[in-house]
């Protein structure tokens, strides 16, 4: 009876709580010069420096002292990492790989789908002179070149000949080319069929039934009974969806079918496991913050496979370092160069001795990175720059490109595409003829500009204090930024030591993003997460697909974007599913809430005594009926007090 009533009761109570939740906008109702009571300071710090408190966190901070705990979070390598996190991550195969190895081991598609035609190999084996004559020579030169080849080479070359190569050639050569082309295509099709046989040729009817409808253990037993190529063929034939309930096999099937999507999925899993389990919570908060600040979109071309290195090598090492180093690391990284098209930005040089071939064109100067560098990464939209400055930055970064995108994907400066002329940026003159140094000078100018100090300080205050943080706090942070040469740890120390950070004005002034809401819910109920696949989907369903922001401004740092009715209802539904044990891969044990009333359960989940408004809403909705720990916990997770941080 309890479970039958669960849905309607949660909807009824959720509706009451929803009315209170909708006005949430991140605007503070308290004063920023009035300090929080001591019991709230710890919970407030946990809600800002972590992805939400876990059972036992408040007691641990009381033991250490709040100042000591904050200092440890600011120096994360003094903290031993969670053994649970280490255990979860040890099966990942791509997180620590350099990009060139990822590209080599995880191509865009499996090798079985990327068969190289023999004609392409034969064409590549020709001498440069032969290829030149076949592609640019007269009809007589092309005919003579083909006639001089041995029969087998000519057969293969004709099979891959494009129309321009055959134009004007004798009819017998054109007919032979058509015949060889058809024969090659038929041969490739037979080879593909051999390498990707239908499922009925790989498994018996009973085995197919087990693979599709068997238990987790039965599926594992079946697949583990095969090895090598046949195992890969079976996984490809069955598809990823067949193994949604068996994480290890789902990952293996993903790697067999969509290798680069598998790489990206591991990055998403890595992010969620770190957010849930890491003892170095502030580091994970900052990695997420700076990934949004220097946002790139996983759906654009090669960015997806470049993201692993981008987060690991360009973002993570610098979140407690100097802003200039972080700025330069992102500017040089292939993920950013590709996303904002700077890798193709070139200036037609008038001092080079050669001319481009007839009909050939260079991509030209691209202003995308220059504009976003000024507007989103450093000065801010009101930072005092002009369109002329955007052009100057674009010229300075021309020639900053990617070496061999498909094999190595490393930063390279190409002097042949660089604008060597003098440039002027924000009153600074960049002398002519200094090549890559132009871009480095731009990084220095912007990293030390007063507008950058103010813009970065405000954005950090917005993340940790309130959507509209006090200007006096931002000003003090900007002074620290300038005095310390952009030392981000020092700026954060100024922020966390301020009266404003632990003030009534900052208390519950922020609305959690979907990522924060999902992860904090999991942490609040001390869930055991064996698979993050469903959690990632829930975050995406709530409007924040990880690494999936199309625009370069990243996901919002303020609550306005998350206050739509569908989003709030989605949060309530997630809380209900989580506490009912209905999120795959997540185990929840709520026995610690047995025989406890609503006020006690709410206090333990929130870390502080719940407000009268929250308790009244729950009690009104329950209509004096007893409720299970699952229902009570779901109502607390769906409450405005939990949705705020």
Name every residue whose Cβ is closer than 8 Å to that of residue 532 and which is 6 or more positions away in sequence. Answer: 268, 269, 272, 273, 276, 585
Report whether pLDDT(18) > 90.
no
β-strand 586-587 against 428-430: which pairing, if any?
unpaired
**How confident is the model over 472-500, as a mean pLDDT?**
98
Shortest CA distance to 466 belongs to which of 22, 17, 30? 30
pLDDT score of 561: 86
pLDDT score of 247: 94
Give Cα 527 distance to the centre of its chain. Answer: 24
Instruction: Confirm if 485 and 322 have CB atoms less than 8 A apart.
Output: yes
pLDDT, tens only, 43-55: 999 999 999 999 9
Burial of 637: CB neighbours in 10 Å, binned 0-12, 13-18, 19+: buried
Instruction: Confirm if 631 and 10 have CB atoms less than 8 A apart.
Output: yes
pLDDT score of 7: 53
**How confident is the model over 329-351, as a mean pLDDT?**
91
- 310 forms bridges with which residues in the sheet? none
**How confident is the model over 463-480, as a mean pLDDT?**
97
pLDDT score of 235: 93
Q: Directed axis angle between helix 450-464 and helix 471-483, to 10°? A: 130
Residue 15: which pLDDT band, with cuts at 50, 70 and 90? very low
Q: How high does pLDDT run on average in the chain?
A: 90
Give 644's DSSP letter. B
Question: Distances from the Cα of 51 to the Cαs of 27, 276, 333, 520, 540, in angstroms?
Answer: 21, 7, 28, 5, 17
pLDDT score of 350: 65
Region label for 386, one of left (φ > 0), alpha (ψ between -120 and 50) or beta (otherwise): beta
- CA-CA distance, 489 to 487, in Å (whole number)? 6
Give Cα 118 distance to the centre of its chain. Answer: 39
Of 148 and 267, more confident: 267
User: CA geometry: angle at 77 spanning 74 and 79, to 5°?
Assistant: 85
Report whether pLDDT(23) > 70.
no
pTM for the model stands at 0.89
CB atoms near residue 436 (< 10 Å): 17
**How confident is the model over 21-32, as a mean pLDDT?**
60
Of 527 and 166, more confident: 527
Report whether pLDDT(116) > 90.
no
Burial of 413: CB neighbours in 10 Å, binned 0-12, 13-18, 19+: middle
Tokens of 269: 């899993």
pLDDT score of 157: 86
Helix ranges (DSSP H) in 514-564: 514-524, 533-541
Report whether pLDDT(17) > 70.
no
pLDDT, tens only, 147-176: 898 989 988 888 888 888 888 888 888 888
Report whether pLDDT(621) > 80.
no
- CA-CA distance, 639 to 590, in Å (whole number)? 18
Share of the chain above pLDDT 90, in %: 70
- 586 forms bridges with which residues in the sheet? 529
**How confident is the model over 226-255, as a mean pLDDT?**
93
Question: Distances from the Cα of 110 to the Cαs of 136, 233, 253, 303, 619, in angstroms?
Answer: 34, 11, 11, 19, 57
Q: Could you tell me where the beta strands, DSSP code E, fall in 524-565?
A: 528-529
Shortest CA distance to 498 belongs to which of 14, 13, 140, 35? 35
Instruction: Confirm if 601 and 636 have CB atoms less than 8 A apart.
Output: yes
- CA-CA distance, 289 to 283, in Å (whole number)? 10
Residue 1: which pLDDT band, with cuts at 50, 70 and 90? very low
Report whether pLDDT(492) > 90.
yes
- CA-CA distance, 575 to 582, in Å (whole number)? 10
DSSP codes of every residue in 249-294: HHHHHHHHH-HHHHHHHHHHHHHHHHHHH-S-HHHHHHHHHHHHHT
Residue 21: which pLDDT band, with cuts at 50, 70 and 90? very low
**Diameter of the chain measured on Cα atoms:** 96
- CA-CA distance, 417 to 398, in Å (whole number)? 6
pLDDT score of 357: 53
Of 626 and 36, more confident: 36
Of 74 and 141, more confident: 74
pLDDT score of 349: 65
Taken in order 308, 311, 314, 317, is the CA torsion positive or negative?
Answer: negative
Of 206 and 120, more confident: 206
Burial of 90: CB neighbours in 10 Å, binned 0-12, 13-18, 19+: exposed
Report whether pLDDT(354) > 60.
no
Secondary structure, 3-state, 407-450: CCCEEEECHHHCCCCCEEECCEEECCCCCCHHHHHHHHHHHCCH
pLDDT score of 14: 56
Q: Minimum mean pLDDT among 1-5, 182-186, 450-454, 575-579: which range?
A: 1-5
- CA-CA distance, 569 to 73, in Å (whole number)? 33
Instruction: Confirm if 17 and 572 have CB atoms less than 8 A apart.
Output: yes
Residue 193: which pLDDT band, with cuts at 50, 70 and 90? confident
- CA-CA distance, 496 to 498, in Å (whole number)? 5
pLDDT, tens only, 586-596: 999 999 999 88
- Max mean pLDDT range (110-119, 153-162, 387-396, 600-609): 387-396
Tokens 């420096």 belong to residue: 49
- CA-CA distance, 502 to 517, in Å (whole number)? 21
Q: Directed axis angle between helix 38-49 and helix 281-293, to 10°? A: 50
Shortest CA distance to 517 belongs to which of 593, 578, 582? 578
Residue 10: which pLDDT band, with cuts at 50, 70 and 90? low
**How confident is the model over 427-432, as a mean pLDDT?**
96
Report whether pLDDT(9) > 70.
no
pLDDT score of 162: 82
Share of the chain above pLDDT 70, in %: 92
Q: Minimum mean pLDDT among 180-184, 227-231, 508-512: which range?
A: 180-184
- CA-CA distance, 151 to 632, in Å (whole number)? 81
Residue 275: which pLDDT band, with cuts at 50, 70 and 90? very high
Name every residue whose Cβ is closer than 8 Å to that of residue 354 and which is 6 or more positions away in sequence. Answer: none
User: CA geometry: angle at 250 spanning 244 and 252, to 5°?
Assistant: 175
Tokens of 579: 């506490």
Report whether pLDDT(6) > 70.
no
Shortest CA distance to 551 belongs to which of 355, 353, 376, 317? 376
């Amino acid at each position: 009876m309890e479970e039958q009533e669960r849905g309607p009761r949660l909807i009824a109570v959720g509706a009451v709580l929803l009315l209170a939740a909708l006005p949430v906008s991140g605007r503070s109702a308290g004063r920023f010069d009035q300090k929080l009571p001591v019991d709230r300071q710890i919970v407030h710090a946990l809600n800002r420096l972590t992805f939400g408190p876990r059972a036992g966190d408040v007691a641990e901070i009381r033991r250490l002292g709040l100042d000591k705990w904050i200092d440890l979070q600011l120096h994360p390598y003094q903290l031993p990492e969670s053994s649970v996190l280490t255990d979860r991550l040890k099966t990942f195969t791509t997180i620590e790989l350099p990009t060139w190895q990822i590209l080599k081991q995880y191509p865009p598609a499996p090798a079985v789908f990327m068969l190289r035609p023999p004609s392409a190999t034969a064409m590549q084996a020709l001498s440069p002179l032969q290829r030149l004559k076949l592609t640019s020579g007269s009809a007589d030169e092309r005919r003579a070149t083909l006639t001089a080849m041995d029969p087998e080479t000519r057969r293969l070359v004709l099979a891959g000949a494009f129309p321009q190569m055959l134009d004007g050639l004798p009819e017998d050569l054109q007919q032979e080319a058509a015949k060889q082309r058809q024969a090659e295509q038929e041969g490739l099709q037979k080879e593909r069929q051999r390498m990707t046989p239908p499922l009925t040729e790989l498994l018996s009817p009973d085995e197919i039934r087990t693979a599709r409808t068997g238990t987790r253990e039965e599926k594992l037993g079946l697949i583990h009974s095969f090895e090598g190529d046949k195992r890969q063929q079976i996984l490809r034939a069955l598809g990823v969806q067949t193994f949604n309930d068996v994480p290890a096999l789902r990952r293996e099937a993903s790697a067999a079918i969509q290798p680069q999507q598998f790489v990206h999925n591991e990055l998403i899993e890595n992010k969620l496991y770190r957010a849930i389990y890491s003892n170095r919570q502030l580091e994970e908060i900052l990695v997420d913050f700076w990934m949004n600040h220097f946002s790139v979109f996983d759906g654009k071309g090669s960015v997806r496979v470049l993201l692993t290195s981008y987060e690991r090598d360009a973002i993570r090492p610098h979140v407690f370092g100097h802003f200039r180093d972080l700025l330069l690391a992102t500017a040089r990284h292939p993920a950013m160069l590709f996303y904002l098209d700077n890798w193709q930005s070139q200036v037609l040089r008038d001092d080079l001795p050669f001319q481009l071939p007839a009909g050939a064109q260079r991509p030209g100067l691209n202003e995308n990175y220059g504009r976003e560098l000024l507007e989103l990464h450093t000065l801010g939209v009101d930072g005092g720059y002009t369109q002329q400055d955007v052009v100057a930055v674009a010229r300075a970064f021309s020639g900053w490109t990617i070496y061999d995108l498909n094999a190595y994907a490393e930063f390279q400066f190409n002097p042949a595409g660089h604008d060597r002329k003098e440039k002027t940026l924000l009153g600074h003159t960049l002398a002519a003829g200094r090549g890559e140094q132009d871009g480095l000078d731009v990084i220095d100018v912007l990293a030390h500009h007063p507008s950058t100090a103010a813009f970065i300080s405000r954005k950090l205050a917005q993340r940790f204090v309130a959507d509209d943080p006090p200007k006096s706090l931002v000003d003090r942070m900007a002074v620290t930024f300038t005095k310390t040469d952009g030392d981000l740890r020092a700026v954060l120390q100024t922020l966390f030591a301020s009266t404003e950070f632990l003030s009534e004005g900052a208390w519950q002034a922020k609305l959690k993003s979907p990522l924060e809401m999902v992860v904090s819910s999991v942490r609040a109920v001390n869930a055991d997460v064996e698979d993050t696949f469903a959690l990632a989907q829930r975050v995406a369903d709530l409007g924040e697909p990880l690494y999936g922001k199309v625009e370069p401004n990243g996901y919002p740092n303020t609550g306005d974007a998350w206050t739509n009715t569908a989003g709030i209802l989605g949060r309530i539904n997630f809380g209900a599913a989580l506490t009912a044990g209905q999120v795959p891969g997540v185990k929840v044990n709520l026995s610690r809430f047995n025989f406890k009333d609503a006020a006690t359960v709410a206090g333990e989940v929130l870390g502080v005594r719940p407000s009268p408004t929250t308790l009244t809403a729950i009690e009104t909705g329950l209509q004096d009926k007893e409720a299970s720990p699952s229902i009570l916990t779901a109502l607390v997770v769906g409450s405005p007090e939990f949705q705020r941080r």
